[in-house]
Amino acid sequence: MNKYSVCIFDLDGTLINSLDDLADSCNAALENNGLPIHPVNEYRSLVGSGIKNLIKRSLGEKKSDEKLVEAVFSDFNRIYGENCLNKTKPYDGICEMTAALKSRGIKLCVLSNKSDNFTHRITDALFAKNTFDIVWGKREQYPIKPAPDALLAILKQAEISKDNCLYIGDSDVDVITAKNAQTAFCGVSWGFRGVEELKNAGAVSIAYQPDDIIKEVIKDEQ
């Protein structure tokens, strides 16, 4: 018997490892504007709150320069649009996990702070057709996570109550999103931020491999 009817996944750092492409594209946009770049690993703490916030964080003390933010943002979108699938791929075991959940009749959804266009483009390219029932990136009518609005709207579209939802993510933003939406949460250890951040934010359930998500969803299976 299934414990939940729907799993809603964060994208970057949860389903896919996109760090290199995000970092490479942001660094290229920074260089285009005569700005210093950052080591790839530093982007683990810069991503997660949407592209505009990624740009602002990458600018450091210059983040209040709105004209500069827009210039780098524009360059990033162009460069990332050409390179978002260079190195990005699902984490090991993710496709098998999603297939197993689908076979159990679980609805699968994606909710990302990445733009809706990029979110669809990447999921369409990296996952089998019909893997996900609903895919949402950042949409203008909803605030980004950790605001719960988009997550709750997905549940409404799926016609599933929040009590039957498991939200899965890799960062404190995701933990807080689940809290704000009053849904169950499972963190993933393999993401950009790590177990310590998840636990400090209040996560109780942590998946250390994709199969652990299946165990979390299926009642009484240990």
The model's pLDDT over 103-116, given as tens digits with 9 standing for 90+, comes to 999 999 999 999 99
Are residues 140 and 179 located together in one domain of the fold?
yes
Work out the average pLDDT over 161-175. Answer: 97
pTM for the whole structure:
0.93
Looking at residue 220, its pLDDT comes to 59
Give the DSSP per-residue string, 6-63: EEEE--BTTTEE-HHHHHHHHHHHHHHTT-----GGGGGTT-SS-HHHHHHHHHGGGT
Looking at residue 222, its pLDDT comes to 46
The model's pLDDT over 53-75, given as tens digits with 9 standing for 90+, comes to 999 999 988 888 999 999 999 99
Residue 42: which domain range? 19-83
What is the separation of C-alpha 88 from the centre of its chain, rounded to a whole number of angstroms? 13
Are residues 109 and 197 located together in one domain of the fold?
yes
Are residues 100 and 37 located together in one domain of the fold?
no
Looking at residue 221, its pLDDT comes to 46
**Count of domains observed in the chain:** 2
Are residues 147 and 212 located together in one domain of the fold?
yes
Work out the average pLDDT over 1-28. Answer: 96
Looking at residue 82, its pLDDT comes to 96
- CATH code, 189: 3.40.50.1000
Looking at residue 105, its pLDDT comes to 95
Kindly tell me the sign of the dihedral angle through the C-alpha atoms of 212, 213, 216, 217.
negative
- CATH code, 34: 1.10.150
